[in-house]
Structure 1
Amino acid sequence: MKTLTIKTILLAFVAIVGFSSLTKADDLKDRNIQYSVNSFVNKIKTGKSADLASILSEDVKFNMSRNGKIMTHGKKEELDFNKKNANVIQQCKVETATLVNTENYSLVKVSSIYEGFTREDFVTLIKTKNDWKITDVTTNFK
């Protein structure tokens, strides 16, 4: 009886481990994309950017259209700006919408809705070996 109980427990454990390893690649992809997007949104909403450096590619570009001019900066400038503005909480509602999602590419619109205007960030993510990195953020105001 004791052997049967041990075998049953062992079989149940193997079944659980086996089923958990059957997680779809798409589920894993979505979680990794979601982590990067959530970290970006957290930076916008709460000013907490501890994970920001890890989700940005080394050659990321931030493009902002203002008064008919396009202002562009890279990773170092973005991290410096966020360090200076750490923990600044924005009084806005943040919404995300996935516009394109393929095996190696995703385009997500992040809308920060303030009273009187909306800031839209179009965030491009590319799959690297182990995770998803933000490679481009284009900002528009409306």
Structure 2
Amino acid sequence: MHLIDEIDRKIIGAVQDDGRITTQELAERVGLSPSPCARRVRLLEQSGVIKKYAAIIDQTKVGLPISAFASVKLERQREGDLDRFAKAVERWPEVVDCYLMTGQRDYLLRIVARDLESYERFLKDKLTRLDGVASIETSFALGQVKRSEALPLL
């Protein structure tokens, strides 16, 4: 396991803010020379602290304005049933987030869609056809107040 020090926190904060930052800019920002800074970034990547770099896309501007949150209850919570559900969800590009939950429901999914008809098609063609699903409750987001991929490094 990689122990994160204050310089690592600064590096992580900077790349969370701008994944395309150059090594030179990053080094200046965190107070290192480029070579040790690059080494630290590589260690953070190799240890899995930095999992990957990605662009954050505005879902509305690419024609996916609907965010639906589906709470799913399975018939049974056995390991095989949970694994089967998780494997199915991983194959569905409409599902952008999926969490195994405590409480009344087993999973919470965020599904993006072009329109209500697209969500209905996803529901009928995929989610309700999956063996072991006991019930599904859907809520639709009216608007997005906050979304962040940046973790609060305290």
TM-score (norm 1): 0.25
Higher RCO (CA-CA < 8 Å; seq separation 6+): 2
Structure with the bigger percentage of strand? 1
TM-score (norm 2): 0.23
